[in-house]
Structure 1
Amino acid sequence: MVRGMEAAAVSPVPLKKWLWRSYIKAALVPLLLIELGFVGIYWFTSQVVYDRSASALTRISTDTLRDVSVREANIIAHRLQSISAATRIYADETGRALATPAEVSEAEKARHAYSPDGVFYTTRDTGGSAVFFSGVVPIGEAEREKVWRTVRLDPIMKSIKESDPLIAQLYLNTHDSYNRIYPYFDVLDIYAPKMDIPSYNFYYEADQEHNPSRRPVWTDAYVDPAGDGWMVSSIAPVYSGPERLEAVVGIDVTIKTIVEQVLNIKLPGDGYAILVGRDGTILALPSEAESDLGVNELLDHGYEEAILKDTFKPAEFNIFRRSELSQIAIAMQSQPDGVRKVDMQRPMIAAWSTIAGPNWRLLLLTSEDSLLVEATNLREQLSFVSKVMLGILVLFYAVFFAYLWRRSSVMSERVARPLADLEQRMVLISEGNTVPPAPPYEIGELQTVGEHLTTMGDKLDAANRAKSNFLSAMSHELRTPLTSIIGYAELLEISEGRKLEGERMKHVQAISTAGWNLVRLVDAVLELSRLERQDQRLSTSSMDVLPLVQGACDRARPEAQRRDVTITLVKPEEPLPSVIGDTEMLSRILDQLLSNAVKYNVPGGTVKVRFALTSPDAVDLFVQDTGVGIAPDLKADVFKAFQRLGHENGTISGAGIGMTIASRLAEVTGCRLTFDSEVGKGTVFTLRIPRTRQGRVAAR
């Protein structure tokens, strides 16, 4: 039982496909596995080489990046320390100048004046500093004396400015809002009257609270009220006495200068440097960093807001508030220098070092891909070689496949074609047709099978003809005595003399009825025999189908009345087109359909005959009964000969060949006979009759 199930589960395949599969299993698969094994080994080794090369290059590049950050931080620290030292000198000189009375020429005094708002300022440039005494504190003789004492600072301010290209300007601010700044500019165009200078970060970050050590310190980035944009300042306090903060001096370095000179560092790959303040504010960044961070360096400035309040960089310039840099910011707080990876829309490596003095951080960033350029090039070369190898492999197997396919085709041609011919001959034999002699085959065994098939076909054809002849002869032999029996029964029914009444009349009528049933059975067998011998003459013509159907209904009504079945013909509302076919054969088809619908109906049932024009090329005729219906498992046997579909032992007479005859007549006449049935509700047979090209025929 298990073997049978396994055999049923294996579906047969054509010979050509079987040969092809054998080639694949025996030749292609082993070769392919070997080749793929070689390619896999090569790919694995190349991947290992790349991974190790990338790891080594990453380590070397990372160490290089750290070394660069430390070196550049030291260089920047030295440059800033020189500015801090100059700030210290400048503060000392300012303290001495403020404490020492001075003699100023009238020419120098003449270039100072009061504005209508009470500002004491310089009116013209003579190569020295600009003066702006805001007037927030009334300006009297003592205040003017402070201005005269600080005139002597101009030469040292000029010398310091020229000593370092980073320095943008130098200034002196006092507690009473006196500002002296070099180089000169028109102060009234920039500064607002009554400006309270000690309220700005470039002043209060040097006081006792913010700078108890009283050494030069660096401010965070801010907008310069003097109009030089974003900058940082090295500022130092100037005390008069132990506790009195008299003034604050400062040396400004603009962000633009830092970007152009300080951050102009050559880094491996596509790296760049960022200067970060003590609180995490990005003091300066080059243009290369702007796209990664999504911000633009603030080189422009607005004077109106700058002179009213402290103006620091926005929150997006603080690395603590940026998610992609927050981990770096935390690491920079805990470690003076280090290296780590960071994701900024692409993998990057960050290295930082602390700039001694201002305690800023120099942050170097470079993409990981740019560090691995050499390893990537190596990987691309290995990948190219792999692709070439795969291409050669694919080309080889394409040619090899084509060769094997050709060989399988040639080999199967010698066997498959004779087998297909033998299969076709078997189909002809199964359909009852004769087969010609077998053609010569190259293979002896197949030639023998072909000859045996020809012999078997001849014998089966002879047997089929003998069966048909026997049925024809026996039908004729049976018909003669049956006709005599029916004739004598009819004579008895109409005989003169003593009447046949009661049971005797019923017996005689039963003889007549049985005889006629036998005659119809014999006629059906004869017709089936003629159909099997294809002994039918077809005479097609154009006709009106409605009268043909009416005649069939009239012929079936007596039997329907006897069985208490009503036949209803539903005439179409619109004229039916004419159909083409054989009138006699169509009538026999209709007789069989109506007889079947009446016999297998129930007492009190109905048979409805109706039409439909659903197809442009045919007229559909429906014969619908209200009988017992056909079970689903029996539907395949409806058109088979001698199939009673479970009524073999019933009271309904017949041999089970009526629907077989109807189906075969439909095929002969070019019609199509189908059915649909439901148990307990009845059956609908559909006869599709082809139309003619003539006009419509009116319904009568």
Structure 2
Amino acid sequence: MSKSHGRVMLRQWMWRAFMRSALIPLVLVETVLVGCYLLSNQAIRDAQLGYLDRSASESLAASAEQNAQIIENQLEHISATASLLARLTQRALQGPAPATTETLAVSPQGARFSATDVGGAASFYSAATPLDHHDLNKVARLATLDTVFMEIQRHDATIASLYFNSWDSYNRIYPWFRTDEQYPPDMRIPDFNFYYLADSAHNPQRETRWTDVYLDPAGHGWMMSAIAPVYTADFLEGVIGIDVTIGGVLGQLEKLNVPWDGYMLLVGRDGTIMAMPEKAEHDFDLQELLKVPSQNKLSTEQFKPQNFNLRLRSDTARLASQLNDSPSGNLQLALKGREHLIAWSAIGSTGWHLLAVVDKEAVMSTTNALAAHYRNIGYLMIAGLVLFYLAYFSVLWRRSRRLSERLRKTIDDIRGMLSEIGKGQWQPLRAESQIQELDAMAGDVLTMGGQLATSDLHRRMAQHRLTLIMDYPTSGMWEYHLEDDCMSLHGGLCKRLGWPNNQISREAFLERLDAQSARQFQGVLDSLRSGNTQRIELELKVCQADGNSLWVLCQGRMLDVSVGAQRAALGTLVDIDRLKLAEADLKERTHQAQAANRAKSRFISSISHELRTPLNAIHGFGQLMQMHVQDAVVRDQTQEILAASSHLGNLVDDLLDWSSLQAETQHLSLRPVQVAPLLEECAEMMAAQAQAVGLRLELRPVPENFWVQAEPRRLRQVLLNLLSNAIKYNRPEGMLCAGAESLAGALRLYVEDGGMGIEPELQAELFEPFQRLGKENTAIQGTGIGLALCRELAGLMSGSMGVYSVPGEGSRFWIELPDAEQLEYKQDEASPTVFYAGSDVDIVLQLPMLVSKRTSFVHGTLEACLIRAREHGAPNVLLLDCDPEQQPLELLGRIRRAAGAAQMSVVLIGSEPRKLAMLGIEFQGVLAKPVSREELAELLTALLEQESTHVH
């Protein structure tokens, strides 16, 4: 894992130690206590609300029941009065007629009425009954009841009027009013509810009944009536009625005591609101009907509109249902968006319900206010704790700064020595310290610089010798004409070897090479002819006239522009015979340089381990002091020592990590690693460090199917190192992002910053160990080996490192690794394939028996092979029948451009083997017809084994 992860300044490290060991637990405890207070306050409030809710429901139900009893008593009193009045009326109708009769006027329509107020009741005989059928004796008998009417109305203020209605539409009503002006002349009284509700069909028990709310024809507005039938034997003479106006009922309802500023509501048998105080009008979005309509002569009965019926309203349907199901109860109901508590009790004698309605918020207001008060107290406690800890943190921060400054200078001096050594200054100025361990450490660093200087000198000498060997080659030039299949040779090397300056055939040139070199060079020329190769580079062993051999390096390429009408290739021949000898010497010296480098690495490892010993002693001694000292100043100084030793330990760990890679080749366990979770993990680990310097780390979206072949721990180490560098070398508010992108066969993981960038001439030295590009004397910490270590790890994972940087704009560092999905696809490919392009029956029959069971055999035309190569890739071995009827050149060129064709082996089969070499086809074997079974089996085995070796 990268040692750059988690690196902070000494002061910051000490501050974090304070935070983790003391401050965070203390703040956590305080937070838990305040949280418990707020939670308990909320629990108490919830319990109080629950209790208050139940208590309010019970109190409201009791109030509704009590007030319903009061209303019922009043209604029963009125009902009893109506029954008494009915009995008196019955007696009056059966008694003798008075000597004097009442003088009634007759209207033009034929209705009789009392035109003047004589202190009694008003009379009205409807024109629905003809004048000659008016029973004036009945009128006279009923006049004897006026004093009773008067006394009853005077002793009960709730009674608006008293009346008698007869079967023949006679009406006697108290108090007096001009009935001809109020009633229609032909009014049929039995058609109104204050009459027919008392008849035998509706009231077979002949009891007093109460009507629903209706509009009074007498002009008193909306009212309800207690009606009692008056019979003579079984004949219904008429109905006695006592009117109670809605206004009178409302006055009684408003006098009833309802807690929490609630109100009472009277609901009829059919769910119609009979009486509703002004407080209820807003909740039910209604206005009580008290005024008499402008059209005051009513020929038919009128009841309250449908919007007064609870059953027909969507917001009160549930209430109406429960009123119908239960004579008493309570529920919560939302009216106009506010929750209300409603309790009801039935008025048994009428079938009505008295409802008590209270706004729930009014019930809960006191408890809510108390809970809010205690919650505000909790908030004040939190604010006080925040202010206290802010002041406390500032004091600790200043003390940590003073403490860390005492150790920083010595550590910075030792770090400066290491930085100078990293730049090549092997003997830097020695750091001085009164601490014995730190002073000894500075001496060890100086010794390490001397050893590194010796190793670097040996390395430079070896490089210089290699340069001298390569500066003086002897060379020649060759030119190959593809159409003529001949070569032209020029230059001093050619003259020295005695080669002719004019053209020679390919066969003549191949005769001057040993057998192996001739085969290699012939294969290269065939590749040039077929177009599969554009550049060549190979070493040839030339046979000289004196019998000795000479090594030459042959390099060349196809000319982009044809010479005349012919295609040609041009190249050089370089005498590398001495280079071969020098190569052997160079290998020996390289081994020596490598041995010196390993010695250097072992020295670094050894000196790093030696540095660890005093560092461990410092750290252990500091911990002992911290445990036993009591003085605050000494304790702070001890903490500075511990932070400095930890920081220097990280530097030593970097050196150990680098030296371990240089000392011996690391064997990493590579496996598929998903990119997105790894980038997210690294981003989370570095987010705090980025935030501390004012940067925001942006993680760009990465597809879920991005997998790389890598060692997870080492890849995480590389990414953390790149992120750490991007943070350290960035600018305030600069760009900082990470992501991944797909390349051909690989995935690139990158980290991009908005720093000052890197000059192009310095980028070549960026991945060199101990190289910091002039940042050694800045406040940015580092050893200069992080990127070198990342490049080494990338190489061990079969990957590479790179950078793109623009001065003044920023830099992008990346690591490219193999795409794990494509590797798995290649490993899971089908078994090796042998394709026979021809029609020889013997070969078709023999081949399945000559290849192993895991090898697929396909035969067909060369066109079929081309189609298969485009769909599934080129076969591993192509057996090409080259008899005259075949036209293989163009099709074979297309097959060689298919996927996997670079590893395809071609075997030519024909009746005239000598002519096959003149086709200009690159091949790996030739078979003559008839094909020998043993020869074919041996050749296929060799080619398939070679293919397997290439794959692995």
**What's the TM-score once normalised by structure 2's chain length?**
0.47
State the Cα distance separating 1:97 from its structure 2 match: 4.1
Deviation at 1:66, TM superposition (A): 3.6
Q: Which residue of 1 aligns with 2:73?
A: 78
Letter in 2 for 1:242: A
Assess if the C-alpha contact under 8 Å between 1:233 and 1:250 holds in 2. Answer: yes
**1:10 offset after TM fit, Å?**
11
Task: Tell me if structure 2 keeps the 8 A contact 1:414–1:442.
Answer: no
Q: Structure 1 residue 8: deviation in Å? A: 7.6
Inter-CA distance 29–98: structure 2 relative to 1 (3 Å threshold): same
Q: Provide the rounded CA distance (Å) in 1 between the counterparts of 2:165 and 2:52.
A: 53
1:248-397 matched pairs, under 5 angstroms:
248-300=239-291, 302=293, 307-321=298-312, 329=320, 332=323, 336-339=327-330, 341-342=332-333, 344=335, 345-397=337-389
The equivalent residue for 2:729 is: none
Note if 1:101 corresponds to 2:93.
no
Match of 1:566, SS state, is: coil
Match of 2:212 in 1: 220
Deviation of 1:233 after TM superposition, in Å, equals 0.9
Q: CA deviation at 1:170?
A: 2.4
Cα distance between partner residues in 2 of 1:373 and 1:492 = 111
Alignment of 1:108-187 (within 5 A): 108-109=103-104, 112-116=105-109, 118-125=110-117, 127-140=119-132, 142-187=134-179
For the residue of structure 2 that corresponds to 1:226, the secondary structure is coil
- CA distance in 1 between partners of 2:499 and 2:84 (Å): 167
Q: Secondary structure at the match of 1:31?
A: helix
What is the alpha-carbon distance in structure 1 between the residues aligned to residue 158 and residue 812 of structure 2?
104
Q: Distance in 1 between matches of 2:806 and 2:359?
A: 81
Distance 1:75 1:139 in 2: 46
* Structure 2 counterparts to residues 26-37 of structure 1, below 5 A: 26-37=21-32
Q: CA deviation at 1:135?
A: 1.6
CA displacement, residues 445-485 of structure 1 (integer Å, 9 cap, x when unaligned): 56665665577567757865775576457645753x54799
For residues 279-322 of structure 1, the C-alpha deviation after alignment (integer angstroms, 9 at most, x for no partner) is 33321122322333343333345475983543333444344455
Q: Residue deviations 1:58-80, cap 9 Å, x none? A: 55544443443333223222322
> Deviation string for 1:480-518 (max 9, x for gaps)?
x547999xx9568789x99756599989x99xxxxxxxx
In structure 2, give the amino acid aligned to 1:23.
F
1:194 aligned partner, one-letter code: D
Query: Out of 555, 563, 576, which is 2:557 matched to?
Result: 563
1:283 alignment partner AA? M
Residue 84 of structure 1 and its aligned partner are, at CA, apart by 2.3
Preserved contact between residue 263 and residue 274 of structure 1 (Cα < 8 Å) = no
State the distance in 2 between where 1:368 and 1:210 align. Answer: 41
Q: Is the 2:328–2:344 contact (alpha carbons within 8 Å) kept by the matching residues of 1?
A: yes
Give 3-state SS (helix, strand or coil) of 1:258's partner.
helix
Question: What is the DSSP-based 3-state SS (H/G/I as helix, E as strand, rest coil) of the residue aligned with 2:558?
Answer: coil
Equivalent in the alignment of 2:33: 38
How far residue 205 of structure 1 moved from its aligned partner, in angstroms, is: 0.9
- Residues 94, 238 of structure 1: 8 Å contact kept: yes
Cα pair distance change 1:44/1:224, threshold 3 Å: same
Mapping for residues 524-603 of structure 1, pairs under 5 Å? 563-566=557-560
The aligned runs of 1:44-59 (5 Å cut-off) are 45-47=40-42, 49-50=44-45, 53-54=48-49, 57-58=52-53
Preserved contact between residue 216 and residue 235 of structure 1 (Cα < 8 Å): yes
- Kept in 2: contact 1:438–1:447 (CA 8 A): no
Residue 628 of structure 2 corresponds to none
Q: Percent identity?
A: 33
The whole-number CA distance in structure 1 between the counterparts of 2:18 and 2:254 is 69
- Of 87, 92, 114, the match for 2:87: 92
Q: Deviations over 1:515-564 (max 9, x none)?
A: xxxxxxxxxxxxxxxxxxxxxxxxxxxxxxxxxxxxxxxxxxxxxx9622
- Unaligned 5+ runs, structure 1: 1-6, 511-560, 569-628, 642-662, 682-700
The one-letter code matched in structure 1 to 2:374 is L
Root mean square deviation of aligned Cα: 5.3
CA distance in 2, matches of 1:103, 1:10: 129
More off after superposition, 264-273 vs 151-160: 151-160
Q: For 1:317 and 1:194, how far apart are their aligned partners in 2?
A: 31
Preserved contact between residue 230 and residue 301 of structure 1 (Cα < 8 Å): yes
With over 3 angstroms needed to count, the CA separation of the structure-2 counterparts of 1:349 and 1:504, relative to structure 1, is closer
- Alpha carbons of 1:58 and 1:490: their partners in 2 closer, same or farther (altered >3 Å)? closer
Between the aligned partners of 2:411 and 2:400, the Cα distance in structure 1 is 16
- Number of residue equivalences: 534
Aligned-partner residue type, residue 258 of structure 1: V
Q: Name the CA shift for 1:144/1:36 in 2 (closer, same or farther; >3 Å).
A: same
Instruction: Output the TM-score relative to the length of structure 1.
Output: 0.61
Distance in 2 separating the partners of 1:633 and 1:68 = 80
One-letter code aligned to 2:193: N
Distance (Å, rounded) in 1 between the aligned partners of 2:72 and 2:290: 23
Mapped partners of 1:199, 1:77: distance in 2: 28
CA distance in 2, matches of 1:39, 1:29: 15
Amino acid at match of 2:67: E
Aligned equivalents of 1:295 and 1:441: distance in 2? 94
Q: Structure 2: which amino acid aligns with 1:170?
A: L
Shift of 1:153: 3.6
Question: Structure 1 residues 449 and 256 mapped into 2: Cα distance closer, same or farther (>3 Å)?
Answer: farther
Q: Distance in 2 between matches of 1:153 and 1:128?
A: 9
Q: Per the alignment, do residues 202 and 105 of structure 1 end up closer, same or farther by CA in structure 2, a change over 3 Å counting? A: closer
**How far apart are the structure 2 equivalents of 1:414 and 1:433?**
27
Distance 1:103 1:120 in 2: 20
Tell me how far apart the structure 2 counterparts of residues 363 and 498 of structure 1 sit (CA, whole Å): 127
Residues 41-66 of structure 1: CA distance to partner in whole angstroms, max 9, x if unpaired?
54455456545545555555444434
Q: CA deviation at 1:138?
A: 1.7
Deviation, structure 1 residue 359: 4.0
- Cα offset for 1:218? 1.2
Q: Distance in 2 between matches of 1:127 and 1:273?
A: 37
Alpha-carbon distance in structure 2 between the residues aligned to 1:284 and 1:9: 85
Q: CA deviation at 1:422?
A: 6.7
CA contact (8 A) 1:74 1:356 kept: no
The amino acid across from 1:77 in the alignment is E
Following superposition of structure 1 onto structure 2, how do residues 468-487 of structure 1 map, counting pairs within 5 Å? 471=463, 475=467, 479=471, 481-482=472-473
Aligned pair in 2 of structure 1 residues 450, 244: CA closer, same or farther (>3 Å)? farther
Distance (Å, rounded) in 2 between the aligned partners of 1:635 and 1:273: 76
Distance 1:308 1:465, change over 3 A: farther
Q: 1:187 to 1:469 in 2, by over 3 A?
A: farther
In the other structure, the counterpart of 1:210 is 202
Distance verdict in 2 for CA 1:633–1:366, change over 3 Å: closer
- Taking a change above 3 Å as real, the CA distance of residues 408 and 252 of structure 1, as seen in their structure-2 partners, is farther
Answering whether residue 225 of structure 2 is matched by residue 230 of structure 1, we say no
Q: CA 1:299–1:471 in structure 2 vs 1: closer, same or farther (change >3 Å)?
A: same
User: How far 1:23 sits from its partner (Å)?
Assistant: 3.2
Cα distance change, pair 485–349 in 1 and its aligned pair in 2 (3 A): closer
Task: Say whether the 8 Å CA contact 1:437–1:451 is kept in structure 2.
Answer: no
d(CA) in 1 for partners of 2:35 and 2:508? 100
2:183 pairs, out of 167, 184, 191, with: 191
1:359-508 paired onto structure 2 within 5 Å:
359-408=351-400, 437=429, 471=463, 475=467, 479=471, 481-482=472-473, 490=491
Kindly tell me: are residues 404 and 81 of structure 1, through their superposed partners in 2, closer, same or farther at Cα, counting changes over 3 Å?
same
